[in-house]
Amino acid sequence: MRLRKILYSYYTAVSWFLLNNLIAHFPSRHLRHWGLKLFGVKFGGTYSLYAGFHIRNPKGLFIDAGCSIGPKVLLDARKGLKIGKSVVIAYEAIIWTLHHDYNDVNFKTIGEPVVLEDYAWICSRAIVLPGVKIGKGAVVASGAVVTKDVPPYAIVGGVPAKIIGYREKKEYSYKAEMSVAHII
């Protein structure tokens, strides 16, 4: 049993290194996609994922069609992360599904899945905490820290994030356009 734990910890460390230090920086989006599939990420269609991302537990991650995920984005899928259709996650945004229980004497980890519904937009350097559901078409402003669910089409900002407005309800149709920028 102890040997199994040791081997699993080595496997996890090597996998993490390969995914986040090699595959995340491949110059080809096709190679990045192949690497992500190899590590267990599930996809619902074509998407755009810039180089330099960081993923924790790729097997818990689902990315639907039309998504655009910017560089240096951290996607924590240890408790499950579902990214809906045509979601935009901008530069250096962080999505957490696991954190430490500050009331536990051993500082153990706790968490819940995160869901980003269709057409949501997570702006640069925003942080989404465990257990949060971002509603359809909602916008999280740059630098916001989201601690509670965000209703559909709401615009939230601040620390902690509060509703600061509402987006027009439309049938949005984002397209993940591929360009030279996607291979850098």
Token duo for residue 37: 């599939």
CA angle 22, 23, 24 (to 5 degrees): 95
Distances (CA, A) of 175 to 17, 78, 80: 31, 28, 25
In sequence order, the 6+-apart residues with CB closer than 8 A to the CB of 174 are 66, 68, 86, 88, 119
Bond into 113 cis (ω within 30) = no
Catalytic, out of 33, 99, 100, 182:
100
The count of residues in the chain is 184
Known active-site residue 182? no
User: Nearest to residue 137, comparing CAs of 157, 167, 94?
Assistant: 167
In sequence order, the 6+-apart residues with CB closer than 8 A to the CB of 46 are 65, 66, 176
Residues assigned a catalytic role: 100
